[in-house]
Amino acid sequence: MTRRSLRDAGRLGLGLTILAWIGLAAAPLVLDDWNIGLLTQYVTYGIFALSLGLIWGQAGILCFGQAIFFGIGAYSMALVTLGKLPWLGDSQWTGLALAVLLPMLVAAVLGWILFQGRALSGAHLAIVTLCAAVVCEIAARRWEFIGGFNGLFNVPPLSAPNGDPLSTNATYFFVGVAALLTYLLSLWIGRSPLGTVLAAIRNDERRTLHFGYDVRLHKIFVFTVSGAMAGFAGGLFTTQFGFVSPPLVGFALSTEVLIWVAVGGRSVLMGAFLGALAVRATENAMSSSLDQYWLIALGALFIIVVVVLPQGLFGKLLALAPPRRLGSSQAK
């Protein structure tokens, strides 16, 4: 593509991205409380999708265990707010902090193991992370301290400083602002010099290594940030649904978020975010009309999108212009 065509496409993508955020901000003006509650859940899943979009779309790290960090964040929030960790108190802010820090630590350790020495990549990495998710779900089912098979219930919703639960619109505003900040953080990473190295790793890891970059450290860093983002989404999730259970750390949810990101467009962060919203809304419609067959329909949708639209539903529409340091090279 020429430099001008890249710039024009980037302007369109930027305009549509801004329009999408404006539309989300204006949603309470046209939707009732029930639908705003659903949209809040979808936006939370969108934060989760951003965490995978960051590592898969930007760095080429295909992780089939992303729900591990989401689930750890959800359990962290539940354990704190239910008073099961008395030395930490029961503040929701403490719960959210732990929901970020603990998954971040787990992701850092797991990343150090996965990317050490002859680092895993591609299908091998996918298989190992898939197995890790299965093991974590089994462990969660057998750990009575965190509720065992049934999980934990009666997790309090987000509340105001005076202790009163936030209204539906206030909760939506809080989650929406959190989603916007998470998106901006991901976008900053992707368009920074660090993001340039991550893109190089995604395109040709061996060449990047030969240029003198520490591929291992870059992968561990972005994997750690991604884990923190997923954990944050998990913490928000459990305040909305009021419970946390073993499947939240398992393989099924890890696969589902892969579908969201692939359908939306893994190469574009906003595409990954909107993919979660679109697929969750479609799932909600399908589950009420197709009963137990909705998962089959969802799988068929995923196959169709991957085959017909390999860049996803929003991959081309929302693509931003490359950073200026890359514009000239990509225009050649």
Q: Which mean pLDDT values do the consecutive 10-residue runs of the chain (332 residues) have?
A: 60 92 97 96 98 94 95 97 93 96 97 82 86 95 94 94 91 98 96 93 90 92 97 97 94 91 92 94 80 75 81 88 59 42
How far is C-alpha 281 from the geometric centre of its chain's CA atoms? 16
pLDDT of residue 327: 47
pLDDT of residue 292: 72
User: Residue 190 and residue 54: Cα distance in Å, rounded?
Assistant: 8
How far is C-alpha 94 from the geometric centre of its chain's CA atoms? 21
User: Residue 59 and residue 47: Cα distance in Å, rounded?
Assistant: 18
List the one residue out of 329, 276, 285 whose CA is nearest residue 40.
276
50 domain-assigned: yes
User: Residue 307 and residue 112: Cα distance in Å, rounded?
Assistant: 34
Q: How many CA atoms lie within 13 A of 219 on its CB side?
A: 28
187 domain-assigned: yes
Q: How many CA atoms lie within 13 A of 175 on its CB side?
A: 32
pLDDT of residue 6: 57
User: Residue 34 and residue 50: Cα distance in Å, rounded?
Assistant: 25
36 domain-assigned: no
User: Residue 196 and residue 295: Cα distance in Å, rounded?
Assistant: 37
Work out how many domains the chain is built from and give that number: 1
φ, ψ (nearest 5 deg) of residue 244: -145, 140
**What is the DSSP-derived secondary structure letter of residue 267?**
T
Residue 144's domain comprises 41-317
16 domain-assigned: no
18 domain-assigned: no
67 domain-assigned: yes
User: Tokens standing for 84?
Assistant: 């099961």
31 domain-assigned: no
195 domain-assigned: yes
pLDDT of residue 238: 96
Measured from the Cβ of residue 310, the count of other Cβ atoms closer than 10 Å reads: 12
